[in-house]
Amino acid sequence: MGVKNKIKELRKQNHITQVEMAKAMQVTRQTIVAIENHHYNPSLELSLKIAKYFGVKVEEIFTLE
């Protein structure tokens, strides 16, 4: 069982680069890459920031599989 996310899909739909998103989230581009590739689960704080950034609920981005 693991956490999956739709960050890459949302980012691409909104024409946002990894660098732009990383700056907005105050993290490195490598952090965004790791989250998108399911190598790293973001903290609750970062998860909430990401949801707010895209204007969606956390549950719409992250799922437990």
Model pTM score: 0.91
Output the CA torsion sign for 22, 27, 28, 34: negative
What CATH code is carried by the domain that includes residue 21? 1.10.260.40
Q: Give how many domains the chain has, as a whole number.
A: 1
Count of C-beta atoms within a 10 Å radius of residue 54: 18
Per-residue pLDDT of the chain (65 residues; tens, 9 = 90+): 799 999 999 999 999 999 999 999 999 999 999 999 999 999 999 999 999 999 999 999 999 98
Count of C-beta atoms within a 10 Å radius of residue 52: 11
pLDDT score, position 38: 94
- pLDDT tens-digit map of 6-22: 999 999 999 999 999 99
pLDDT score, position 49: 98
Domain of 18, in residue numbers: 3-64
Nearest in space to 53 (alpha carbons), one of 40, 39, 6: 6
Q: What letter does residue 56 receive in the DSSP assignment?
A: S
pLDDT score, position 1: 72
Is the CB of residue 36 less than 8 Å from the CB of residue 8?
A: yes
